[in-house]
Structure 1
């Protein structure tokens, strides 16, 4: 991806750092441990990407599964195990809400990458990706729910469900646009950016954190007696 300007590389690297920092703000205990674990995981993924491991697009199963599989397994364990659900219940809901502002710079970078044919247009807000709406509305929801207390549990529940739906939408399109034997979309301008450093951190780190943030919020909001609380 020699044609992609260095500014986009730097911007996405900083966006990933922002995502880790915002997520760790929602962790009430051992935030440094969580941050260290995420840093080690992202470092390992970065090394693999720099070696060109993910650029072999003909392998079966697709090598990108090594980037997305472990985080998805962790997310699944958080949902289906008692210990995992306990951890989800401990996260600060206000910080989880503010975390989603990271989706704004992600979408800006994706738009920039599309201009250099590193991702298809359908993965941007000019195409089929409206994920930026969650990021833009996150500060408003935070303010109205946790500061002004003008909105409550139902509004935050609906917002998280919509945000999760938007996430699933773009992830599905992104997966089907990655060059592989399973590719179904965007053959003329495929999703090649995620095969390279640092953009591989999107499926390996940023997207799983967004998913966990929604799952944690939804798990907490299942309680009819839920009350706004937090640290932010």
Structure 2
């Protein structure tokens, strides 16, 4: 990992900050009467989670590949937490009030994420299959996100069906590249010839891709779909 240029880590840290900012804004708008308390608690929890993951990374927790797969366990925890907040009645009320346009704009970060993945692949920290030069077409979601935000859920134009279809396609593209990433993890893959395993995401700061950025993107899609499907008043978007 020493051969990776410093600007790659800097770009990725900026992505993490951007995702945090989008989520903080969405929570603040959803709780105008409790903005200081609710949004502060939420951002504190998220920053605490990021800090905890980073400490474990620096302690070499994730690079120890013996025993139970540790990284998938952490990712599984974040997904369970997302499902809990989606089904818990008190949190559902908050999620239904999040600005759906913000939940679409957040996907713009997927463009710089793809650049980071490409830089990591050039440095042979991850396989080329995880980039847009391989089988990863997730950059399409990032490029199309502002158009979806403006013309499908924004004030300028609305298309509930179009937004649902966009979210499902973008979510499918994300799950596809996640499947590629998992298949190249050293738990399940042994490099042969010129191939490399997906090792880059086991180190700081890229560990935050599977443990924070990707779950945040999944969360945004699911909350958007929940609003698009269950909110009857389209003017509230």
TM-score by length of 1: 0.91
3-state SS, counterpart of residue 55 of structure 1: coil
User: How large is the Cα RMSD of the aligned pairs?
Assistant: 1.7
Unmatched 5+ stretches in structure 2: 32-37
2:48 corresponding residue in structure 1:
40
Return the alpha-carbon distance in structure 1 between the equivalents of residues 16 and 97 of structure 2: 23
In 2, the alpha carbon distance for the partners of 1:135 and 1:224 equals: 25
Q: CA deviation at 1:119?
A: 0.8
Give structure 1 stretches of 5+ with no counterpart: none
Residue in 2 aligned with 1:9? 9
The separation in 2 between residues aligned to 1:137 and 1:118, in whole angstroms, is 28
Q: CA deviation at 1:47?
A: 1.0
Matched, 1:21 2:29: no
Post-superposition offset of 1:175: 1.2
**For residues 89 and 5 of structure 1, do their structure 2 counterparts lie closer, same or farther at Cα, with a shift above 3 Å needed?**
same
In the TM superposition, what is the alpha-carbon distance from 1:224 to its structure 2 partner? 6.9
Alpha-carbon deviation of 1:85?
Answer: 2.9
SS at match of 1:47: helix
Q: Is the 8 A contact 2:101 2:150 kept in 1?
A: no
* Gap change, CA 1:226 and 1:178, over 3 Å in 2: farther
* Bigger RCO (CA 8 Å, 6+ sep): 1
Change (3 A) 1:126 1:185: farther
Aligned residue for 2:225? Answer: 218
TM-score by length of 2: 0.89
Q: Give the 5 Å matches for 1:144-155.
A: 144-145=151-152, 146-149=154-157, 151-155=158-162
List per-residue Cα deviations over 1:154-201 (Å, max 9, x = no partner).
111100011110111111111111111xx1486521110111000000
Deviating more after overlay: 140-149 vs 219-228: 219-228
Aligned 8 A contact 1:194 1:202 in 2: yes
Q: Distance in 2 between matches of 1:135 and 1:101?
A: 4
Of the structure 1 ranges 27-36 and 7-16, higher mean CA displacement relative to structure 2 is found in: 27-36
CA separation of 1:209 and 1:224: change in aligned 2, threshold 3 A: closer
The answer to whether the Cα contact below 8 Å between 1:176 and 1:185 also exists between their aligned partners in 2 is no
CA deviations 1:180-230 (Å, max 9, x no partner) are 1xx148652111011100000001100110011001011111137341545
2:34 paired residue number = none
Q: Give the one of 58, 68, 72 matched to 1:65.
A: 72
- Residue 123 of structure 2 corresponds to residue 124 of structure 1: no
Asked whether the equivalents of residues 179 and 191 of structure 1 are also in contact (C-alpha less than 8 Å), the reply is yes
Q: How far, CA to CA, are the matches of 2:140 and 2:46 in structure 1?
A: 26
Aligned residues: 226
